[in-house]
Amino acid sequence: MGISFQIKTNNELKLKVKFARYFEIEEEGKTLWKRKGFEYEKLISYKNKKVMLEDEIYLHIYSVFKKSENFYMYTITLINDLTIRSSEDYVDKTPYILFQPEINISTIDDNVFTERPINLNSGDYETRMYEFLYSNSRPLCFGHGVSTQWNESKNEIWTEYLPIHEINPIDKNARKYFHKINIKNLEANFLGKSDRKILTETLSNFIQVYANAPQDIEGCTDPEAENYNPNATIDNGTCTYECLNGDVNNDSILNILDIVLLVNMIMNDDPYSQIADVNLDEILNILDIVLLVNIVLAEN
């Protein structure tokens, strides 16, 4: 489980994590389960990538500075790497499972957590429709496998393993975008009784607003590409990459691993990949393998 959010500063965050584990015990000749609670407090920043809590239980922290909007984006995930017995019996697995996990993140200053900016120019149709419908009610955070909540001061957010708050209402009339239009003026009764001038003005205004609504934009949608277009909604196959030709596994080193991967790509007739095309002839074949082998041998 985890939580994603955005903040306006790079100050340290106070992090609290809670969860429980159940252990089998013998008491008065009976087998019982005893609940043991675990609680941790940590200070983290965007520099942290991993925070250990217990053996094989840790927090994975992913953070990115969004320069265009001037805020930091975080995703914090609770990871349980405890080795679970291979038994199919649920009882055998119970001691290794984390129950009722919670993550709480807070700051001293108010209004540090911020709503994610609306983006109607990227993503698939469903994603953009979600952005459109919830444009007037933006969440401060998003849960992964859990629900989330926040306070009015915008200085504390937390997860809920059982949601207890109302789902944000949608703006079915899209007032944020059509506030200049009186919705009643689009009702059949009004349009049927209006003279030509009023009818023309009403519909012209609606058409103008609609024409300015977000449209699909073709371009490169891969953030890793050199020509990435953050406004593109449809990938047109024009992405270009700064790459080391032959570095198939993208580890910035040419070695035997790249040769093996290239051979497998050719044997499996995988789709064309520019990074694997050592001689840049837009074909993956034995010539690329020979060239890559010579390059690796020459470097060694």
The pLDDT, as a whole number, for residue 89 is: 62
Q: Are 21 and 144 members of one domain?
A: yes
| DSSP helix/strand/coil, 216 | coil
Residue 248, domain member (yes or no):
no
β-pairing, 99-106 with 13-27? antiparallel
Residue 277, domain member (yes or no):
yes
| DSSP helix/strand/coil, 72 | strand
Q: How far apart are CA 22 and CA 64, in angstroms?
A: 36
Residue 230, domain member (yes or no):
no
Q: What DSSP letter does each residue of 130-198 carry, written as one string?
A: HHHHTTTS--SEEEESSEEEE-TTSSEEEEESS--SPPPPP-TT-HHHHTTS-GGGGSHHHHHH--HHH
As separate numbers, helices (DSSP H) first and strands (DSSP E) second, the chain gives: 7, 12
Residue 168, domain member (yes or no):
no
Residue 265, domain member (yes or no):
yes
Q: Are 55 and 187 members of one domain?
A: no
Q: Are 103 and 201 members of one domain?
A: no
pTM of the predicted protein model: 0.51
Residue 173, domain member (yes or no):
no
Q: How far apart are CA 224 and CA 229, in angstroms?
A: 10
Q: Are 156 and 7 members of one domain?
A: yes
Residue 50, domain member (yes or no):
yes
Q: Are 152 and 184 members of one domain?
A: no
Q: Are 126 and 88 members of one domain?
A: yes
Query: Is residue 79 within 8 Å of residue 59, measured between CB atoms?
Result: yes
Q: Are 68 and 141 members of one domain?
A: yes
Report the DSSP beta bridge partners of residue 43: 14
When divided into structural domains, the chain yields a total of 3
Q: Are 294 and 261 members of one domain?
A: yes
Answer left, alpha or beta for residue 100, where phi above 0 means left and psi between -120 and 50 means alpha. left
Residue 22, domain member (yes or no):
yes
Q: Are 154 and 189 members of one domain?
A: no
Q: Containing domain of residue 202, as a range?
A: 180-211
Q: Are 101 and 67 members of one domain?
A: yes
Distances (CA, A) of 48 to 44, 62, 129: 6, 8, 34
Q: Are 49 and 82 members of one domain?
A: yes
Q: Are 184 and 291 members of one domain?
A: no
pLDDT in tens, the chain (300 residues): 899 998 888 888 999 999 999 888 888 888 888 999 999 999 988 788 889 998 889 999 988 887 777 788 899 999 998 876 565 566 667 888 889 999 999 998 888 898 876 666 666 666 666 666 666 667 888 888 888 889 888 899 999 877 655 555 555 555 555 555 666 776 777 777 778 888 788 778 777 766 666 566 788 888 878 888 887 777 888 887 666 778 888 777 888 888 888 898 888 888 888 888 888 888 889 998 888 888 888 876
The pLDDT, as a whole number, for residue 133 is: 62
